[in-house]
Amino acid sequence: MSDRHVDHRGQVLIQIARDAIDGAFDRPQSTHVNDLPWLQEKGASFVTLKQNEKLRGCIGTLEAHRSLFLDVSENAYAAAFRDPRFSPLTEQELGYTEIEVSLLSPMRPIIFAGEHDALAQLQPGVDGVVFEFGRYRSTFLPQVWEQLPEVSLFMAHLKNKAGLQPGFWDDEVKLYRYSVTKWQEKDFQDQA
């Protein structure tokens, strides 16, 4: 796949996310082709909103179960208006809210013998990680390594996000990894 094709996909996905948010305020939306064949394929995505490089919302799907078009659109809306960590986005915030779309690869289980072995297998900056223990589940996108580059700290925060103590470990813990292709809205604005 050429870089030009990747950039085109990213530009389309960013616009779908922007339109989903703009549409909630009855703002005009761009005209884009939502019948592109690759948009109808099942896909898993995360949409991240930032303001001044700070998180303002992030919602996503770990496993592909609906069309990529619908997944990005619904995740963008949810990141703007349903992320429980933030109040709903206001129309006044639209002008300085940046959008990032991450397209996820399928998850692959990590096979390990204990926490030390699991931590040794993680690839900082590359792996998105899903932590699972019974009903407790959390994930961090690969981008989170930028704030938490130390593997043990990354894992402690991931456990905490799942609702467990940072030092928690059990033989029943399951870990999965995935990678992402990500695009930021500002990358396409710079090209204009």
Residue 159 pLDDT > 70, yes or no?
Answer: yes
pLDDT-based confidence at 5, cuts 50/70/90? very low
Task: Say how far apart CA 63 and CA 25 lie, in whole Å.
Answer: 29
Q: Which of the four pLDDT bands, split at 50, 70 and 90, describes residue 31?
A: low
- What are the two backbone dihedrals, phi and then psi, of residue 164, each rounded to the nearest 5 degrees? -115, 165
67 three-class SS: strand
Q: Which domains does the chain have, with CATH numbers?
A: 3-104 (3.30.700.20), 108-178 (3.30.1490.150)
Tell me the mean pLDDT in the region 94-123.
97
pLDDT in tens, 8-19: 899 999 999 999
Separation CA 93–CA 185 (nearest Å): 15
Phi/psi at 89 (5° precision) = -60, 140
| pLDDT for position 48 | 97
Asked if pLDDT for residue 191 goes beyond 60, the answer is: no
